[in-house]
């Protein structure tokens, strides 16, 4: 199997990581208006997660992600309103469960999870750090090999079937695109199938994933 290539451009483009010392003022327009301190090891922050890398730890480098707490929620530069992530704990808990499920049922390469746990409203996933090369930086002659491997991995995921529409961790965690069009009160009305016909999907397949 060839080396796995990972594009981390989404983290490089993310807002610099900061930690609130106090709860943010919802009226602030810019996300850096309140005094905040950059955390050691934090390499990026999105609207729902913080990402950390620690290269000098026993057993090799580790990569950590965790959900934001309410005092860390970002503010929309367009509206000036707090960005409230949907099902923030459920999503990251399901992410850890899905990685373990993939490891148990496929040969798709995934990072080794050292531990995953919740502490005071923050769910952490700690994995081995896997170095990679951005797809945009990969020589063109090597890309067909990567694309062929990805097609095989997608085929393996589609072999994992269930009668239930939902997440590996239990319950329904809608992809963001579906969450925008399906009301929350419609989710419990999703029906099970008489035979296993629902297949596992990545739901965020892109050059950055």
Query: Which residues in the chain show pLDDT less than 70?
Result: 1-38, 188, 204-209
Cβ atoms of residues 196 and 163 within 8 Å: yes
What's the confidence (pLDDT) of residue 16? 42
How far apart, in whole angstroms, are the C-alpha atoms of residue 93 and residue 123?
7
pTM over 0.85: no
Do residues 126 and 97 touch, judged by C-beta distance below 8 A? no
Q: Determine the pLDDT at residue 71.
A: 82
- In whole angstroms, what is the distance from residue 49 CA to residue 70 CA? 11
Q: How far apart are CA 110 and CA 88, in angstroms?
A: 22
The pLDDT of residue 14? 47
Residue found by looking up tokens 């509206």 in the block: 79
Q: Which CATH number fits domain 9-199: 3.40.718.10, 3.60.150.10, 3.30.200.20, 3.40.50.1220?
A: 3.30.200.20
Percent of the chain scored above 70 by pLDDT? 77
Q: What is the pLDDT of residue 102?
A: 95
Tell me the β-bridge partners of 118: 123
CB 150 within 8 A of CB 158: no
């Amino acid at each position: 199997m060839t080396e796995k290539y990972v594009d981390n451009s989404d983290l490089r483009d993310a807002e610099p990581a900061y930690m609130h010392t106090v709860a943010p003022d919802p009226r602030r327009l810019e996300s850096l208006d309140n005094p905040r301190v950059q955390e050691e090891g934090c390499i990026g922050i999105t609207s729902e997660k913080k990402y950390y890398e620690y290269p000098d730890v026993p057993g090799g480098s580790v990569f950590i992600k965790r959900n934001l707490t309410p005092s860390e929620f970002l503010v929309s530069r367009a509206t000036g309103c707090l960005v409230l992530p949907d099902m923030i704990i459920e999503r990251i808990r399901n992410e850890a469960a899905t990685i373990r499920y993939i490891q148990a049922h496929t040969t798709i390469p995934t990072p080794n999870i050292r531990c995953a746990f919740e502490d005071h409203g923050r769910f952490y996933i700690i994995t081995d750090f896997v170095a990679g090369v951005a797809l945009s930086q990969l020589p063109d002659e090597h890309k067909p090999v990567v694309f062929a491997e990805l097609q095989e991995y997608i085929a393996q995921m589609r072999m994992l079937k269930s009668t239930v529409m939902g997440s590996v961790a239990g319950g329904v965690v809608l992809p963001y695109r579906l969450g925008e069009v399906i009301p929350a009160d419609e989710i419990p009305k999703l029906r099970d199938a008489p035979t296993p016909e629902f297949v596992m999907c990545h739901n965020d397949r892109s050059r950055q994933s």
